[in-house]
Every structure is written in structure tokens, then in C-alpha cells.
A = this chain, B = another copy of it.
Amino acid sequence: MKWTELSKNDLLKLRGDAQKDYADCVSKRLHLDMSRGKPGREQLDLSNEMLSVLNDPAQLIIDGVETRNYGELGGIRQCRALFADILGVKTEEVFAAGNSSLSLMYDTIAKAYTHGLLHSEKPWSKLNKVKFLCPSPGYDRHFAISESFGMELIAVGMNEQGPDMDAVEELIKDEAVKGMWCVPKYSNPEGIIYGDETVRRIACLKPAAKDFIVMWDNAYCVHEFEGDFVPFKDILTECRNAGNPDMVFEFASTSKLTFPGAGVACFACSEANMAYMKKLIGVQAISYDKINQLRHVLFLKNKQGVLEHAKKHAKLLKPKFDAVLSALDEHIAPLGIAAYHRPKGGYFISLNTLPGCAKRTYKLMKDAGVVMTEAGATFPYGIDPKDQNLRIAPTLPPLSELYSAMEALCICIKLAALEKLLKF
């Protein structure tokens, strides 16, 4: 029976039980981390061969390029080709850089502020107001970049097909609205794949701002943990076909394929954007780490190699996501006190508690020794208007710890829900 339909007496009794369960849980002195989308140790071990795949100096010169020395600002061709293959774009549309796609995103926004984008009339720092669309729940680090630059963050709802495009199409009529964050495949945190129609509508946007930018963070482009690789529309082609060739920058990395701290990141964009950005980046850097790029090419080889490697990750990840879902299915779903998504890829499960219970659940978890992504983090300014979204990141803890963490989470969701229900 749904708890929302129970009498006060029943709820009081249940709260007593839940308080006892919570006390037991606290007494276990857990020390677990489910806060970030960090791969677990077994996943890291999948790429240990990276350490020895490039150990012969003769390998270091490739197509005449000396990977040890300065040069090749946009990265070695083979690495750009690998990303192009994965993303379905052209090699010339790819810039292969260092270890962090977040840094590439930050730098893109930073350059919009200091120099302006290709179609900017002036640098954004010279404007009175810059607004940015933040489909929510979304990725806190995206929102933090926008906030750091003093933008006004505008939350846009998410539905099963991605961002609420009716809202987006309305909002972009304001020329202060300069762009939009997107995680199009296995969105962070909901694990939604944007529908074809949503992608089409994004590519067809006619924003008032001539330098509107779609920040297309394809972080989980090959990150299925259940089922086969799901082909996905290439946004560069979509935008080009819609007459918006320069409206999008796409980002990706190997962070969750090889080593999160020592992978290779890239951006992809129109050739006009590429020429413009290379001119700016050429002042910032002589070149990125080409040896590590080469290491990745030798290890991952090509798209087929990437997909095979992704399958090994999937094998480790699937049981973790299953553990989360079965715990919720068994202990929470029947009570009607939370809703959640069932993603087939990505790194998160997004859970909505009863309104007004997310912060409390987070706090209870923290006090019980389990760190989660802070409640509210998935919304602009860290403010979840309904205080109900929690991001579950099950990848880092070993499976045994994850069971304990989920046991704790179910208890905390229940206790927070009961406290809330008893207030009415």
C-alpha cells in the first residue's frame, strides 16, 4: 500500500521502525562514497595495458610526427580520426587535446568571454547580461562553469525525450540567452537519450543571439552498460543541414574508457569554428600531450576496439546498476515515495523523492557515513525547486559496499518520507 494513503497512526508506527533501522544503520559506521561518477578500481584495471602499449621509442614517430616534441596543436591525426570515428564526424572537425573535456568546455566559454565566439559582435565580458539554458536535472559542473562566469542560469525542464524544447524555443528569442548545456546520450543524471525529434529541434533553433552555442557534452557516447551500442545522430551534421553549422561544439573523452585522470579529451566543431578556435588556442598552447594520444590510439585502435572495451566496462557496471534498481524496486517502489529512471548507459541513476525530502535524505545518508552528490546539485545554483532530486552514482564502490549503501539509502528515503508525511 502507498504510504501517502496511510493513516497517521500507521505512519507513526512506520516511523518508529524506520528510526530503529536508521539507528542500526548509523551504528555500522559506514564510510562510503557515491558522490561522483568515478569508475571503480576494476574498471581502471581494464586499461592497465596502456602502461606498456607504447614502450618502444621507434613507435614515437608516427606519419613523420615526432610525438615527443612540440607541435601539432590539434593533436595527432590518428587520435582525431579515432574520435571522429566514434562521434561520426570528420577528422578535420576534431581537436584532440589533454586529459579533460571539462577543461575544453570551460576554455570554450572562457574564450567566449575574453575574445568572443566566431559570430560574436563582442566578447561576452562586454555584455551586461548573459543567460544560459540549463536543462535540469543536469550536470553540476556544467552549471558551475556558467555560474563562475556570472551568467544567469535558466533552468529548463527535462522530459523523456530530453530538454523541454517548447520552453527552449521560447527562451532563445531573448538575445541575452547565449547557449545551452546538453548531455545528449545517457544524460547526467537521468540517463535519457535525447529523442531524434529533440535533436532535430535543437539543430534547427533560430536563436536571437547570433553567437548562441550548444554545448554538446557527449560524455557517454559509447557508454552503454546494458545492450549493444546505440547509434546516435551526429549533431554537427544535423546543425549543418539546418543551416546552423557553427552553432555547436561537441565534447567527448576517454575518461571513462581508459583512465579518468589520464585520458584524452576532444572537441568537434565546424571547420570555420575550428579555424577560429585554433587561432585563439595557438596563443594558449603549443601542443597537448601527443604521446598519451598515441598511447590511446595503440590501445583502443578504432571504434570497434572502443566498443569492445566499453563492453568490458559494461560487464562491471551492469551489476552495480542492477543492485541499485533492485534495492529501489524491492524497498521503495511499492511505497510510492520515490520515482526513478532505469538507464541503460551512463553513470547515474536519478531518483526523485517526495517533494521536500531530497536534502533531508542526503543529510541522513551523510550522517550514516555515505556521501552522495549533494541534494540540489543537479539544478542551477544548487537549488532544486521541489527539493526532490538525488543523483545516485553507483560506479565507484565495490559491489559489496554498494549493497550496504543502498540498504542505507532505502532506509533514509523511508525515514525522510515519513517525517514529511507526518508534517501534513
Contacts and interface: CB of A to CB of B under 8 A. Distances in A.
A103 B110 CA distance: 13
A113 B150 CA distance: 13
A51 B44 contact: no
A99 interface: yes
Interface in A92-124: 98-100, 102-103, 106-107, 110, 113-115, 123
A67 interface: yes
Contact of A51 (B41, B57, B283, B290): B57
A85 to B, nearest CB: 23
Interface in A266-314: 280, 283-292
Nearest to A280: B148
A221 B80 CA distance: 35
A198 interface: no
A348 B47 CA distance: 41
Contacts of A340: none
A383 interface: no
A62 interface: no
B57 A286 contact: no
A167 interface: no
A210 to B, nearest CB: 20
Number of copies: 2
Contacts of A289: 98-99, 261-262, 289, 292
Interface stretch (A24-32, A68-76, A185-193): A68-76
A72 B38 CA distance: 13
Contacts of A36: 70
Interface residues of A, number: 56
A7 interface: no
A110 B113 CA distance: 10
A259 interface: yes
A8 interface: no
B123 A291 contact: no
Contact of A125 (B39, B48, B67, B113): B113
Contacts of A103: 284-285
A9 interface: no
A260 B103 CA distance: 21
A145 interface: yes
5 contacts: A68-B259, A70-B261, A102-B284, A145-B284, A292-B292
Interface of A: 36, 38-39, 41, 44-45, 47-48, 51-52, 54-57, 66-72, 98-100, 102-103, 106-107, 110, 113-115, 123, 125-126, 141, 144-145, 148-149, 255, 259-262, 280, 283-292
Q: Which 4 A-B pairs have the closest CB atoms?
A: A125-B125, A262-B291, A106-B284, A68-B259
